[in-house]
């Protein structure tokens, strides 16, 4: 019999969609479908159920579904939700980032044949090597302390795909730098993350024979967070869907497009949705936020979207708070006043239900200090975090969760951990070898079970037992190893996470005892009872004199922050920002002025 790995759990959950016409339409869609999903509208639930249905009803192994999402974290969240539907064992379901998809499912199988100008077997540059080459080539071209930024280089590479175009040459210095940097990478036989997508796009664009192969393997392609994925993926998607006969299921919200600086563009999603051969579906019911917050966020966005709160009766709090003492004062106020009040106002509410959101890691440092002074445990997600989340570190965290007691209730499931471990291997293993490695890993995890243990020791044992061996064999994981090394360093004596124990390592997400500190960007996709936004001053959000385009993106960032909240939003400002020569008093963020005026006008 064809092995159907899909249970029928999804059918029970799908019955709940009955009251929501948008979700139901998406669930029942047969052709290309774009789901425009407002904040809190159950987009992930819709996507997960649709994936389950497709796997159960529309495709049969060896054919499968690829689900591409913005980040490793999003992929992990999707995988977790899908695991809860009993689908974790579907080997014909790919969930991963666009990079993972391009690497494993485009470049590795077809890159050689297509004669791409990169060396095989593929080897991915570590962050360190990549940084070194960027600096070397930049300095060689423009001298030290040159004004050009790596972030702009990345945007240019990602957003201008045709190297022969005027657009590529129009930013002459960036073009020259990109070419020098890429040449240096190739000299060392390496590709970097952007290369994966750029070459993936080239492969799909230039080689017709690839299309039927991809279509055979993945007759359905799902894309989550479409607004955050750049033009390269957009081209891949269009080519596969409209030339290659791959069925598309895309989900996103252009209003939450906040990665313009990386080359992402919310307009691409709208372009898709406007096509005649696509069924557009709108999800307008907000299950997350109370009515007041739903209304206020639409005012902050300045666009009428017609979103409705699913529970109009729920009470919400929206506060504008002036703290004249600057960022530190704002943070201290949050810790001393807002948080205790919030904890007290609803029975059962924990620190994990509260988040402080800020613009960047510098603000994060100030907030973290205030939080530590206040004696609160916290989890911090921003670029100053001790390590970046990649598939490998996420897997280590989940192994910790299993060993720390998750094994008792099967959360996470061992099978899922084994499958993910298997997926780290560049090549598909043959059965006996895979079985051996799985037995080895299972034995190790079994042995490492302990409810209390320093995370340092757990990670060291896991590395000694299997991971370091894996890393030695799989050079393509070099960049992920770098993050694991940073994790290890942070856990070491004197490191930032030295006191972490195995339970906390495993519960680095969603722990009830830890206050959440995040940048606005990292908060995307998250939700909290209480959201405290700090630093809402002109000169910070937005900066002064932003271009209209930038200003729109800053507004969307503000909108994303607001829409994270279920019950309460606290917006803190001081009326000035710290400049190089002392405070600069530009006043508070104009977004606050607008919002307050509109709320007043509406009588709220």
User: Which one of residues 7, 13, 63, 495 is an interface residue with another protein (CB under 8 A)?
Assistant: 63
User: Measured from the CB atom, is 120 or 446 closer to another protein?
Assistant: 120
Least spacing, CB of residue 154 vs another protein, in Å: 30
Sheet holding 279-283, edge to edge: 93-97, 65-69, 220-223, 247-252, 33-37, 279-283
Total residues binding another protein (CB under 8 A):
32
β-sheet bridge partners, residue 281: 35
User: Measured from the CB atom, is 414 or 434 closer to another protein?
Assistant: 434
Rounded Cα gap, residues 356 and 530, in angstroms: 9
Find out whether 94 and 66 touch, Cβ atoms under 8 Å. Answer: yes
Task: Report in angstroms the alpha-carbon separations of 406 from 73, 140, 417, 464.
Answer: 20, 52, 12, 22
In the chain, the largest separation of any two C-alpha atoms, in whole Å, equals 74
User: Which one of residues 12, 57, 121, 165 is an interface residue with another protein (CB under 8 A)?
Assistant: 121
Of 81, 62, 48, nearest to 2 by C-alpha is 62
Query: Does 589 help bind another protein (rule: CB under 8 A)?
Result: no
> In the stretch 368-387, what mask flags binding to another protein with x, by CB under 8 A?
--------------------
CB neighbours of residue 596 within 10 Å: 17
Query: Does 432 help bind another protein (rule: CB under 8 A)?
Result: yes
Rounded Cα gap, residues 137 and 180, in angstroms: 6
User: Measured from the CB atom, is 388 or 425 closer to another protein?
Assistant: 425
The response to whether 346 counts as a known ligand-binding position is no
* Dihedral sign from CA coordinates of 470, 472, 476, 481: positive
Rounded Cα gap, residues 104 and 114, in angstroms: 15
Query: Does 206 help bind another protein (rule: CB under 8 A)?
Result: no
Query: Does 446 help bind another protein (rule: CB under 8 A)?
Result: no
Query: Does 207 help bind another protein (rule: CB under 8 A)?
Result: yes
User: Measured from the CB atom, is 115 or 375 closer to another protein?
Assistant: 115
Query: Does 216 help bind another protein (rule: CB under 8 A)?
Result: yes
- 47-55, 107-115, 348-356, 463-471 -> range binding another protein (CB under 8 A): 107-115
Query: Does 422 help bind another protein (rule: CB under 8 A)?
Result: no
Least spacing, CB of residue 216 vs another protein, in Å: 3
The response to whether 461 counts as a known ligand-binding position is no
User: Measured from the CB atom, is 313 or 427 closer to another protein?
Assistant: 427
User: Measured from the CB atom, is 113 or 151 closer to another protein?
Assistant: 113
Q: In 3-state terms, what secondary structure has residue 74?
A: helix
User: Which one of residues 187, 431, 493, 549 is an interface residue with another protein (CB under 8 A)?
Assistant: 431
Burial 253-284 (b: 16+ CB within 10 A, else e): bbbbbbbbebbbbbebbbebbeeeebbbbbbe
Find out whether 321 and 300 touch, Cβ atoms under 8 Å. Answer: no
Least spacing, CB of residue 212 vs another protein, in Å: 6
Q: Which residues bind another protein (CB under 8 A)?
A: 1-2, 60, 62-64, 108-110, 112-114, 120-121, 207, 209-210, 212-213, 215-217, 219, 426-434
Residues of the binding site for ATP:
37-44
């Amino acid at each position: 019999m064809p092995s159907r790995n899909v249970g029928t759990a999804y059918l029970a959950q799908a019955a709940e969609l009955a009251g929501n016409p948008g979700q139901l339409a998406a669930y029942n869609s047969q052709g290309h479908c774009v789901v425009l999903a407002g904040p809190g509208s159950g987009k992930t639930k819709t996507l997960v159920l649709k994936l389950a249905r497709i796997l159960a009803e529309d495709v049969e192994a060896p054919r499968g579904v690829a689900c591409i999402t913005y980040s490793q974290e999003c992929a992990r969240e999707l995988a977790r939700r899908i695991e809860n539907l009993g689908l974790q064992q579907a080997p014909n379901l790919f969930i991963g980032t666009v990079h993972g998809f391009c690497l494993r499912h485009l470049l590795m199988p077809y890159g050689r044949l297509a004669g791409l100008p990169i060396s095989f077997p593929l080897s991915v540059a570590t962050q360190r090597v990549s940084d070194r080459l960027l600096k070397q080539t930049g300095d060689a071209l423009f001298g030290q302390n040159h004004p050009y930024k790596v972030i702009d280089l990345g945007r240019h590479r990602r957003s201008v795909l045709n190297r022969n175009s005027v657009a590529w040459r129009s930013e002459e210095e960036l073009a020259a730098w990109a070419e020098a940097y890429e040449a240096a990478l190739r000299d060392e036989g390496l590709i970097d993350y952007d290369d994966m997508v750029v070459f993936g796009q080239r492969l799909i664009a230039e080689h017709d024979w690839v299309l039927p192969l991809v279509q055979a393997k993945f007759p359905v392609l799902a894309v989550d967070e479409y607004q955050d994925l750049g033009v390269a993926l957009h081209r891949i998607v269009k080519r596969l869907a409209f030339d290659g006969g791959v069925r598309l299921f895309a989900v996103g919200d252009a209003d939450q497009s906040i990665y313009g600086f990386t080359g992402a563009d919310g307009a691409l999603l709208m372009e898709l949705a406007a096509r005649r051969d696509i069924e557009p579906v709108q999800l307008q019911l907000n299950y997350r936020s109370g009515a007041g917050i739903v209304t206020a966020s639409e005012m902050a966005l300045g666009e009428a979207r017609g979103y409705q709160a699913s529970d109009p009766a729920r009470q919400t709090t929206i506060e504008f708070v002036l703290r004249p003492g600057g960022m530190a004062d704002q943070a201290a106020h949050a810790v001393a006043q807002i948080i205790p009040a919030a904890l007290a106002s609803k029975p059962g509410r924990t620190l994990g239900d509260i988040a402080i959101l800020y613009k960047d890691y510098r603000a994060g440092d100030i907030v973290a200090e205030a939080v530590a002074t206040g004696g609160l445990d916290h989890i911090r997600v921003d670029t100053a975090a001790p390590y970046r989340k990649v598939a490998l570190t996420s897997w280590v965290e989940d192994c910790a969760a299993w060993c720390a007691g998750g094994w008792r209730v099967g959360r996470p499931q061992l099978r899922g951990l084994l499958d993910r471990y298997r997926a780290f291997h560049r090549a598909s293993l043959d059965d006996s070898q895979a079985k051996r490695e799985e037995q080895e890993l299972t034995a190790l995890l079994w042995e490492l079970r302990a409810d209390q243990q320093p995370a340092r020791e757990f990670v060291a044992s896991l590395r000694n037992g299997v991971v370091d061996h894996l890393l030695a064999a799989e050079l393509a994981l070099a960049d992920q190893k770098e993050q694991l090394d940073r994790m290890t360093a942070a856990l070491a004596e004197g490191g930032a996470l030295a006191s972490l124990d195995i339970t906390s390592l495993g519960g680095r997400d969603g722990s009830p005892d830890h206050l959440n500190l995040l940048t606005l960007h990292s908060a995307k996709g998250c939700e909290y009872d209480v959201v405290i936004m700090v630093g809402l001053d002109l000169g910070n959000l937005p900066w002064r004199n932003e271009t209209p385009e930038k200003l729109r993106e800053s507004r969307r960032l503000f909108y994303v922050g607001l829409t994270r909240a279920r019950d309460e939003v606290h917006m803190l400002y001081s009326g000035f920002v710290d400049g190089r020569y002392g405070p600069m008093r530009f006043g508070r963020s104009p977004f606050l002025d607008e919002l307050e005026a509109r709320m007043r006008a509406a009588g709220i």
